[in-house]
Chain A
Amino acid sequence: MTIELKSASKVIRGVTHIKPTSLVLETGHFNVLLGQTGSGKTSLIKLMAGLDPLASGEIWMDGQNVSRLSTQKRNVSLVHQFFVNYPQMTVYDNIASPLRVAGMAKSEIQGRVEEAADILQLRPMLNRRPQELSGGQQQRCALARAIAKESRAVFLDEPLANLDYKLREELREQLPELFAGRGAVVVYATSEPEEALLLGGKTALMDDGVVTQYGTTAQIYRKPENLTAARVFSDPPINAARMSKVGDTATLDTGASWTVSGAAAGLPDGAYTLAIRPHHVTPVPAGTDYVKLSGKVLVTELSGSESSAHFQLGDDGWVSLAHGVHPYEVGEAHEFYMDASHAFYFTQDGKLVA
Chain B
Amino acid sequence: MKTENQKAWFFVLPVLLLVAFNALVPIMTVVNYSVQETFGNNVFFWQGLDWFEQILRSDRFQAALGRQFLFTFLILIIEIPLGIIIALSMPKKGMWVPVCLVLMALPMLIPWNVVGAMWNIFTLPKIGLLGYFLNDVLGVSYDMTQNPFAAWVTIIVMDVWHWTSLVVLLSYAGLVSIPDAYYQAAKIDGASPWKVFRYIQLPKMKTVLTIAILLRFMDSFNIYTEPFVLTGGGPGNSTTLLSIDLVKIALGQFDLGPAAAMSLIYFAITLLVSWLFYTLMTKDDAQ
Within 8 A of B (CB), among A301-342: none
Min Cβ gap A69→B in Å is 12
Check if B188 sits within 8 Å of A78, measured CB to CB. Answer: yes
Binds A, one of B37-45, B78-86, B153-161, B196-204: B196-204
Check if A82 sits within 8 Å of B184, measured CB to CB. Answer: no
Known contacts A82-B179, A86-B199, A87-B204; is-contact A97 B184 (Cβ 8 Å): no
Known contacts A82-B181, A87-B204, A88-B199; is-contact A49 B188 (Cβ 8 Å): yes
Min Cβ gap B110→A in Å is 37
User: Bound state CA distance, A49 and B188, in angstroms?
Assistant: 8
User: Bound state CA distance, A80 and B184, in angstroms?
Assistant: 9
Check if A77 sits within 8 Å of B188, measured CB to CB. Answer: yes
B114: CB under 8 A from chain A?
no
Check if B190 sits within 8 Å of A72, measured CB to CB. Answer: yes
A89: CB under 8 A from chain B?
yes
Chain A, interface residues (CB within 8 Å), range: 20 to 34
User: Bound state CA distance, A82 and B183, in angstroms?
Assistant: 13
A46: CB under 8 A from chain B?
yes
Check if A78 sits within 8 Å of B185, measured CB to CB. Answer: yes
B59: CB under 8 A from chain A?
no
User: Bound state CA distance, A87 and B190, in angstroms?
Assistant: 17
Known contacts A86-B199, A88-B203; is-contact A102 B184 (Cβ 8 Å): no
A51: CB under 8 A from chain B?
yes
A76: CB under 8 A from chain B?
yes
Check if B188 sits within 8 Å of A76, measured CB to CB. Answer: yes
User: Bound state CA distance, A102 and B179, in angstroms?
Assistant: 25
Chain B, interface residues (CB within 8 Å), range: 10 to 19
User: Bound state CA distance, A187 and B190, in angstroms?
Assistant: 20
A84: CB under 8 A from chain B?
yes
- Contact code string A132-168 (vs B, CB < 8 Å = 1, else 0): 0000000000000000000000000000000000000
Closest to B189 in A: A98
- Contact code string B189-216 (vs A, CB < 8 Å = 1, else 0): 1110001000110011000000000000
User: Bound state CA distance, A102 and B187, in angstroms?
Assistant: 13
Which of chain A's residues have a CB closer than 8 A to the CB of B187? 51, 71-72
Known contacts A86-B199, A87-B203, A89-B199; is-contact A80 B185 (Cβ 8 Å): yes
B182: CB under 8 A from chain A?
yes
Closest to A131 in B: B285
Closest to A132 in B: B287
Contact of B184 among A51, A86, A87, A88 (CB under 8 A): A51
Contact of A97 among B181, B189, B204 (CB under 8 A): B189
A101: CB under 8 A from chain B?
yes
Closest to A79 in B: B185
Contact of A84 among B181, B195, B203 (CB under 8 A): B181
Closest to A71 in B: B187
Within 8 A of B (CB), among A80-121: 80-82, 84, 86-89, 97-98, 101-102
Check if A101 sits within 8 Å of B199, measured CB to CB. Answer: no
Contact of A86 among B181, B188, B200 (CB under 8 A): B200
- Contact code string B151-185 (vs A, CB < 8 Å = 1, else 0): 00000000000000000000000000001011011
User: Bound state CA distance, A80 and B187, in angstroms?
Assistant: 13
Contact of A78 among B184, B191, B195 (CB under 8 A): B184
User: Bound state CA distance, A102 and B189, in angstroms?
Assistant: 8
Closest to A89 in B: B199
Which of chain A's residues have a CB closer than 8 A to the CB of B199? 86-89
User: Bound state CA distance, A71 and B189, in angstroms?
Assistant: 8
Which of chain B's residues have a CB closer than 8 A to the CB of A89? 199
Which of chain B's residues have a CB closer than 8 A to the CB of A80? 181, 184-185
User: Bound state CA distance, A71 and B184, in angstroms?
Assistant: 9
Check if B185 sits within 8 Å of A84, measured CB to CB. Answer: yes
User: Bound state CA distance, A87 and B179, in angstroms?
Assistant: 13
Closest to A155 in B: B188
User: Bound state CA distance, A258 and B270, in angstroms?
Assistant: 87
User: Bound state CA distance, A72 and B195, in angstroms?
Assistant: 15
Min Cβ gap A12→B in Å is 12
User: Bound state CA distance, A88 and B201, in angstroms?
Assistant: 11
User: Bound state CA distance, A46 and B182, in angstroms?
Assistant: 13
Closest to A88 in B: B203
Min Cβ gap A81→B in Å is 8
Which of chain A's residues have a CB closer than 8 A to the CB of B179? 82, 84
Contact of B191 among A77, A87, A88, A97 (CB under 8 A): A97
Which of chain A's residues have a CB closer than 8 A to the CB of B191? 97, 101
Min Cβ gap A285→B in Å is 50
Which of chain A's residues have a CB closer than 8 A to the CB of B189? 72, 97-98, 101
* A-B complex: 4 closest residue pairs judged by Cβ atoms: A72-B190, A98-B189, A80-B181, A87-B203
| 27 CB < 8 A contacts A-B | A46-B184, A49-B188, A51-B187, A51-B188, A71-B190, A72-B187, A72-B189, A72-B190, A76-B188, A78-B184, A78-B185, A80-B181, A80-B185, A82-B179, A82-B181, A84-B181, A84-B182, A86-B199, A86-B200, A86-B203, A87-B203, A88-B203, A89-B199, A97-B189, A98-B189, A98-B190, A102-B190
Query: Given known contacts A78-B185, A84-B182, A97-B191, what 8 new A-B pairs fall within 8 Å (CB)?
Result: A72-B188, A77-B188, A78-B184, A78-B188, A84-B185, A87-B199, A98-B188, A102-B190
Which residues of B are at the interface with A, using a C-beta cutoff of 8 A? 179, 181-182, 184-185, 187-191, 195, 199-200, 203-204
